[in-house]
A and B are shown apart, each in its own frame.
Chain A
């Protein structure tokens, strides 16, 4: 089993729709969780951190389910500019500075 696993997609979604991604992680002791966005041929950029209680930033909602070991990202009212690859990132081990990236989910918003 991969340490951090994502559905690679691609997800082709009409503008204005709601889309959700899940990401599973293998280590139940994982400490920190993030969603990153990567545009084509660019560096990944932090989209949002994922907190235990769930958190929202505008049209984006992130949730953590420790019991089932997954995190999710929900995008509402999707825009053309949301087209990108979304990377799930987990700090797997307490006291270890290593961040483990999923391979990413590719999203294309269709006009």
Chain B
């Protein structure tokens, strides 16, 4: 069966520090991968998605970047965090187009 791992679960970082969140999927090949952010009391905002190694689509201009160095690994990064980067970051995968998404447990990031 397929599983998705996301870590860390919680992170407190100072403004201006770098960020690296990692997500890996097991039990499937060539998944579509996604990074979402959910601000407190808000909906999910799609940040990045990837249909293959090295292929990244960015949805909104922001202080973040994403990379997919391996088929089942998706990384969210920032060189310098802003207060506004605080939120609940969720990684997700889909098997193919028009199918449901499965989420990791999320990383709750607080920038102080």
Report which A residues bind B (CB closer than 8 A). 31-32, 34, 41-46, 49, 87, 89, 91, 95-104
B56 to chain A, nearest CB (A): 12
In chain B between 25 and 64, which residues have their CB closer than 8 angstroms to a CB of chain A?
Answer: 32, 34, 36, 42-44, 46, 49, 51, 59
B97 to chain A, nearest CB (A): 6
Please determine whether B44 and A32 come into contact, CB atoms closer than 8 angstroms. no
Interchain pairs with CB closer than 8 A, number: 53
Total count of chain B residues near the partner, CB < 8 A: 24
Task: Identify whether the interface residues of B are mostly helix, strand, loop, or mixed.
Answer: strand
In chain B between 97 and 112, which residues have their CB closer than 8 angstroms to a CB of chain A?
Answer: 97-106, 108
CB closest chain-A residue, reference B103: A43
Report which B residues bind A (CB closer than 8 A). 32, 34, 36, 42-44, 46, 49, 51, 59, 88, 90, 94, 97-106, 108
Please determine whether A49 and B100 come into contact, CB atoms closer than 8 angstroms. yes
